[in-house]
Chain A
């Protein structure tokens, strides 16, 4: 008892100017929604990709981030010798004492703009604990030397971060001797150097964190219990990947909330556009509707037909919106992570799920925008509509 879908498709084609204008409005809403989700997802994915599920990060008890943490050398040594910690080929614990500070760097090509960048002091074992990270150009810094390597995102974003350039930090000049690729994770936005060289340069006496390779991630609760039980340590441990995921949650939620607010405001406008188009469609086809009702099509068939038409109209907008948003996939941008107060570079990431959400939104807009006009069409008295036609 359904009207043929060609009836709706051809009506959309016949009224192509209005169809395109309305679909354009829907397309903008869907594009903004998709871009917002891609932005939030890209940010989250970058931080979630940071760290490994079999590494634990140890911070001072009560610290939410490395910036607020501090571990003495003695405490780090005790923790590294815990039985839960894996050992390397040399029999030494796979543990990395790290020092993290923020430095303010000038943006490349814009001397008046600057941003905080994380500077991480590590040692040569860093690539053993983070095997997913590799040198892209140059070489690793040498112990005790004023040398650094930088993440792949920094070279083009900040002055002094290009290979062979010099960075002024902690009152000293540091030569960039290599760049590393951390696979799009948050480490790509960091500067790494020898921790023992960084400590005096940045006037620090304690580590910010200790990263451990666990023999078994399931051993974390036992490790935590031992840390808690030892009054000398004042330390707490968590899985490294979960630590970075938690760091992304606050800003990702804000991006999503602001984006959705924008989408809701725009969607309200787009719904009025769809309403207007569908009311115009119903008005101009009053006699057609009356004829279909006279032929015996029940009101619900008319209602369904106009709902289908409204959804088709908005689906056109949904497809256009997704196509509009597609080119930004992979584009990189940066923002300050509110948890670490440092810049994190990340990419817009469009996923099939985000595109499906955009299409679903267009269907919802079609259903909301089509409901009242479709109901008006289905409820109109036949004899009156025939006379009006």
Chain B
């Protein structure tokens, strides 16, 4: 069975919590987590809804393997319509919260309406209730977690909450759990804040024991764990260096977007990457990196735990930031660093702490700061608008802007709009390095051509985790392809997108795919879940999920014209490195991609495609 077969529906307007049976027919078609919650969302929410209106819903969803003994079975997703993009939003997080929700006996929580007063949801196994959030409203996610654990007399209560950024509906506010794991992208935290919902606190002791074939599942998970342990990436590289190892890789190949994508190489990349995190500081003889950390059930443990140099200007009088906390991952280090031209590892770590503490997406935040710095450089933002010069490369500016954004003061309010709205406000919308309103992550698609198509067609706006062709184009996983050509990339992007949709619907972490293929996931799902979970079925489910998300976006008003990239990437050729002279060849890849998807030239799934996938036209 694997599924708990139970949904918690919370009507925030009425203040009610109701248990419902999980729709098992849909579970057979959409598996769980991202796929199944998207199905519920599409059935229940008008695609034209204002993302911050009570009529929008917010779904916390686990997968059938969340909370099981499968490696990385920690994942859950938050599905809603994103305020940053106006598109379907699905933000995935790890930590311990998702497993705890399953231990309490729930597959999903559907949150609807808007509470008349700030509240939080407390779940203890099958008991769920809304409680006043008086003592936590206005607090950071860190304080919220500590207060709720103390209040409920249980340090094992797991908390997922918004900080002050979510409360004030910063457009890229995140939902943070377990102090430094986050459903980070697309502004899901702003939706939570708009509902006057501060937190979900859960404690579960029921467990997840309803596996279809327990012995077969144990055998399958043991075999799959061995694959992860024996693989050089998941067994050695990620635990020791984390995702940050990519900083120098991407910089060396001239695809590290720098200073709002003006440049493709960052002169200080080596000061902010994985190797630098391991290096002992001259000031205190300690490294920035304290240790690695795993989410629930994970045998990879790529997470970073860092300590900031206590003498660094950013924290010198702030002992509350001297402790060990969530350190820099690659995307955060890039956005806070290369995108803004800041090469100060300690400043980036401090900014990252603040992003976790008050819940903002460091990718969209850093990229928006980079855009603001370019607007300042062009004379379109004045020093008087900000209070200080908005100079590329200034660590002081970065840390000040982070404080101002999480606290919602001064120019921080403008940064909180995201780069699309900020650049439009200052008359240069094309300087927003985004797709569908969501900022790019850390790969320049002129130097990694497939990523341009992956960004342009991502259902949640620019994102690396919807179709990570970097694995193939740069890292040689599963096979090496040439990053500088467009040939073959349409098929590569589609394959990554569909497979990722399955990983994201299972409860497993997509980072396993550096060692696993779907063929390693399939035996685990088949042993855990009733029904047919053959490879053919999984491939179909992944494609179905992708098309359902696309249908939602089309109904929300997006068209093929939104499958696009900023003009800079399409017309400004790279100035140095292997991609010198290149722009992204989206025009060559997109028609082939539509054809492979079975979509019309307008990017709409054809009747034949919807019928093949069992979707309504």
Do they bind each other?
no
Query: Which chain A residues have a beta carbon within 8 Å of chain B's beta carbons?
Result: none
Query: Which chain B residues have a beta carbon within 8 Å of chain A's beta carbons?
Result: none
